[in-house]
């Protein structure tokens, strides 16, 4: 195969280098395009634009493959823990037993949130969305820890602090939203067990930890740990490219994740399924609306920019969801509706022709509901899981000598040059 692409524009022919990844993915390096031809590329949503070279996550959307640092998602979901996977995603290798123990000790050491931060929580209106609170709080962490990252050990300190505290911060926001006493982290609990305990333990009703729920949460967070250049990760890299500190960059990523076309879909799926259940809407009518050209409604939890087949995370999530409901002996009518929707959609020509299959968010909310997590916290759960990926991508971007300030161009479609008219000469305008 040629290692250059030839482009002819207005009679001028130029050669553009082709770069190739280790899995055969190919890109045309257009960095010289504007300088040599005066043209830019036009690609809203960046569906055809590679913004970086990355060694963290590999996806094949046609084959439904997802690997973190080369290790298939299926193997990690089956055998790893969230803390171990986070270490892998950030550091590039699975930890030794000693490294994992050290990380667990560090996570414990950093698990408290500064007491002064609790005052912030108390002052948000009770109905605030937890994603808005989380984004503000992660940004606020920078005021408590202003030190810059100048070495690998500084970076280690910062990433462990973030991974540990985000879980405590998420649980605090839930407790405060309920008007309950905040539950502190415990040194004798693992990462996921600690989160569940901080969420659900109360002085009057001790929370009984169930190891199958702890395992299910590990799997949930492993499945979310990274997903290469998705919307929120692109935002984290973009904000970081301005040499913005890691806390502010992650806070921006959390805001991007909140949107219902991205991480907010897990909340939107439950709202859609609840509407079907409570308002007696027929599944076939929902499918009809999703297919309509004139209705902006979309089947939430379906479709993906990269996957053109079943999302490999959704397969594991569906299995995980069934297991949790079985173990808890929890009957959820929303699961039956979801299964019916999937069955109809995956045999409908519209969905097949558009390559629309369930994504990771389709079954995750049903599982979280069964675990007792409130719907408004679903996207926060996603954010906790995605944190290792954002951190790894932020770091990779800052260390990459080829990276520059993110600054796309545009094709201007506004008015051409016209004179400034002084206010007294503008007439009265419309009434």
Residues 381-410 that bind ligand ACO (CB under 6 A): none
Residue 311: CB minimum distance to ligand ACO, A: 7
| Contact call for residue 316 and ligand ACO (CB under 6 A) | no
Residues 44-83 vs ligand ACO: string with x where CB under 6 A? -x--------------------------------------
Cα gap 223→368, rounded to integer Å: 14
CA 14 to chain centre: 39
Catalytic entry in 152, 304, 311, 424: 304
Q: Which is nearer to ligand ACO, 303 or 365 (CB)?
A: 303
Q: Which is nearer to ligand ACO, 298 or 322 (CB)?
A: 298
Active-site residue, 114 included? no
* Helices then strands, each counted (H, E), the chain: 18, 6
Of 57, 359, 379, 393, the one binding ligand ACO by CB under 6 A: 359
Instruction: Choose one: 66-74, 164-172, 356-364, 395-403; the region binding ligand ACO (CB under 6 A).
Output: 356-364
Active-site residue, 304 included? yes
Grouping H, G, I as helix, E, B as strand and the rest as coil, residue 263 is coil
| Contact call for residue 305 and ligand ACO (CB under 6 A) | yes
| Contact call for residue 301 and ligand ACO (CB under 6 A) | yes
If you ran DSSP here, which 8-state letter would residue 399 be given?
H
Q: What is the dihedral of CA 330, 331, 336, 342, to 10 degrees?
A: 0
Residue 354: CB minimum distance to ligand ACO, A: 4
Of 59, 214, 299, 391, the one binding ligand ACO by CB under 6 A: 299
Of 356, 370, 377, 391, the one binding ligand ACO by CB under 6 A: 356
For 4, list phi and psi in degrees, rounded to 5.
-135, 150
Q: Which is nearer to ligand ACO, 121 or 351 (CB)?
A: 351
Residue with tokens 């308002």: 279
Cα gap 100→98, rounded to integer Å: 5
Could you tell me the CA-to-CA distances from 33 to 14, 17, 416, 426 in Å, in that order? 9, 11, 25, 43
Per the rule left: phi > 0, alpha: psi between -120 and 50, beta: everything else, 398 is: alpha
Instruction: Choose one: 119-127, 141-149, 278-286, 355-363; the region binding ligand ACO (CB under 6 A).
Output: 355-363
| Contact call for residue 261 and ligand ACO (CB under 6 A) | yes
Would you say 69 and 87 are in contact if contact means Cβ atoms under 8 Å apart? no
Tokens at residue 334, please?
A: 């929303």
Among candidate residues 187, 220, 188, 182, the one with its CA nearest the CA of residue 200: 182
Residue 261: CB minimum distance to ligand ACO, A: 4
| Contact call for residue 226 and ligand ACO (CB under 6 A) | no
Q: Residue 68's beta-bridge partner residues?
A: 57, 71
If you ran DSSP here, which 8-state letter would residue 59 be given?
E
Q: Which is nearer to ligand ACO, 50 or 92 (CB)?
A: 50
Of 225, 256, 265, 272, the one binding ligand ACO by CB under 6 A: 265
| Contact call for residue 263 and ligand ACO (CB under 6 A) | yes
| Contact call for residue 87 and ligand ACO (CB under 6 A) | no
Residue 356: CB minimum distance to ligand ACO, A: 5
Q: Residue 9's beta-bridge partner residues?
A: 12
Residue 258: which residues within 8 A CB-CB, separation 6 or more?
Answer: 129, 131, 132, 135, 264, 379
Residues that bind ligand ACO (rule: CB under 6 A) add up to a total of 20
Instruction: Choose one: 112-120, 246-254, 258-266, 367-375; the region binding ligand ACO (CB under 6 A).
Output: 258-266
Residue 25: CB minimum distance to ligand ACO, A: 18
Catalytic entry in 361, 400, 424, 431: 361
What angle is formed at CA 148 by the lines to CA 229 and CA 237, rounded to 5 degrees? 10
Residue ranges of alpha helices (H) inside 201-332 are 211-224, 231-240, 246-258, 265-279, 283-291, 312-328
CA 29 to chain centre: 28
Cα gap 391→386, rounded to integer Å: 9
Q: Which is nearer to ligand ACO, 185 or 253 (CB)?
A: 253
Instruction: Choose one: 68-76, 144-152, 297-305, 335-343; the region binding ligand ACO (CB under 6 A).
Output: 297-305
The catalytic residue positions are 304, 361
Contact footprint for ligand ACO (CB under 6 A): 45, 230, 261-263, 265, 290, 298-305, 354, 356, 359-361
């Amino acid at each position: 195969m040629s290692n250059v692409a030839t482009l002819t524009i207005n009679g001028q022919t130029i050669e553009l280098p082709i770069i190739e990844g280790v899995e055969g993915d190919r890109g045309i390096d257009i960095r010289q395009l504007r300088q040599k031809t005066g043209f830019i590329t036009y690609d809203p949503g960046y569906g055809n634009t590679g913004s970086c070279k990355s060694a963290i996550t590999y996806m094949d959307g046609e084959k439904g493959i997802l690997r973190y640092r080369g290790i298939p998602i299926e193997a990690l979901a089956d055998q790893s823990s969230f803390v171990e996977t986070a270490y892998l995603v950030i550091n590039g290798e699975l930890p030794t037993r000693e490294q994992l123990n050290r990380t667990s000790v560090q996570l414990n050491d950093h698990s408290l949130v500064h007491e002064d931060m609790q005052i912030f929580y108390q002052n948000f209106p009770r109905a605030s969305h937890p994603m808005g609170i989380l984004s503000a709080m992660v940004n606020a962490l920078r005021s408590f820890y202003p030190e810059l990252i100048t070495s690998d050990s500084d970076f280690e300190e910062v990433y462990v602090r973030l991974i540990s505290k985000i879980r405590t911060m998420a649980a605090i926001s839930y407790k405060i939203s309920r008007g309950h006493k905040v539950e502190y982290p415990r040194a004798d609990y693992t990462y996921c067990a600690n989160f569940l305990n901080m969420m659900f333990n109360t002085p009057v009703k001790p929370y009984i930890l169930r190891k199958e729920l702890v395992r299910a949460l590990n799997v949930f967070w492993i499945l979310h740990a990274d997903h290469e250049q998705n919307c929120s990760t692109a935002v984290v890299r973009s904000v970081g490219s301005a040499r913005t500190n890691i806390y502010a960059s992650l806070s921006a990523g959390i805001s991007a994740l909140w949107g219902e076309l991205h991480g907010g879909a897990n909340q939107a799926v439950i709202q859609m399924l609840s509407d079907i259940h409570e308002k007696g809407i027929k599944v076939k009518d929902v499918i009809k609306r999703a297919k309509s050209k004139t209705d902006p409604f979309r089947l939430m939890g379906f479709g993906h920019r990269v996957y053109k087949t079943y999302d490999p995370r959704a397969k594991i999530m569906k299995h995980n969801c069934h297991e949790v409901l079985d173990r808890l002996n929890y009957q959820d009518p929303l699961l039956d509706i979801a299964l019916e929707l999937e069955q109809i959609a995956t045999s409908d020509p519209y969905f097949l022709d558009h390559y629309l299959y369930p994504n990771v968010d389709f079954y995750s909310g049903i599982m979280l509901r069964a675990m007792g997590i409130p719907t408004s916290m679903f996207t926060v759960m996603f954010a906790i899981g995605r944190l290792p990926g954002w951190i790894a991508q932020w770091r990779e971007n800052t260390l990459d000598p080829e990276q520059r300030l993110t600054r796309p161009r545009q094709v201007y479609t506004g008015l051409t040059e016209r004179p400034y008219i002084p206010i007294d000469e503008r007439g009265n305008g419309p009434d």
